[in-house]
Amino acid sequence: MAVGIFDSGLGGLTVLDAVAERLPDLPLVYLGDSAHAPYGVRDADDIYDLTTAAVQRLWDEGCDLVILACNTASAAALRRMQESWIPTDKRVLGVFVPLIEALTERQWGDNSPPREVAVKHVALFATPATVSSRAFQRELAFRAIGVDVEAQACGGVVDAIEDGDMILADALVRSHVDALKRKMPKPEAAILGCTHYPLMQDIFQSALGDGVSVYSQASLVAESLADYLDRHPNMRGSGERSCFLTTGDPWQVSNRATQFLRRKIEFEAA
């Protein structure tokens, strides 16, 4: 009954923690492609190839349902995977839709036509690949009209977080927020469009100001997964063990993950 969670590195651990808290009896298999991180500077074909290989590995582990806890993979690869690659007995879900539905105050699964929403000016902070894909804007257009989105590519932030250099990450976040505010001086809401960014949520909030609502993904994705499994219990895979897999060096990744989550994490080779 295991569910797979995939990220290019360690950021998806924020999603895993939220899912484990919401669904404590659900076995979870986490796969981080640390050997090829970060994805945010790769082209779409490269991201697609790496993502499909990772998802196949999670299927092999008995996870019929996989969450792409990586905004870059969700933006650059998911639609192509759904159209031509995923078999009918498997599911791969992204992390954009729960966030957009929360922003637009729509119930999960609400497929009614797009409508006016209260928030009109939205800042999107994401990796360069996610920004260039315009996937967030495309998904938002399915659900809301009249919303102005200003995207800021946050180069370097993921690398700094993965390296454990939070002083550099802090400085980069503040620089990217300043750049965004030069383009959109008064955003009403901000989307943290990378699963690494919840670790910097207080910095984003401080730089943006108290009047801006900051949305991050972990808890929203966990709640959406719980709802999905209630409606589709057959998608609980055959896997029975929880584990952490990495394409990188397990010892090094385990040390970084332990610092990342502030609890002992042990990865094994994928």
Q: CA–CA separation, 72 vs 76, rounded Å?
A: 6
Residue 212: name the closest of 191, 189, 193, 192 by CA: 189
In a 10 Å sphere around its CB, with 0-12 CB exposed, 13-18 middle and 19+ buried, how is residue 119 labelled?
middle
Instruction: Please state the separation of Cα 167 from the chain's center in Å.
Output: 23
194 is catalytic: yes
3 state DSSP class of 223? helix
Instruction: Please check whether residue 193 is in contact with residue 185, taking contact to mean a CB–CB distance below 8 angstroms.
Output: no
Residue 38: name the closest of 145, 130, 143, 174 by CA: 130
70 is catalytic: yes
* Residues annotated as part of the active site: 70, 194
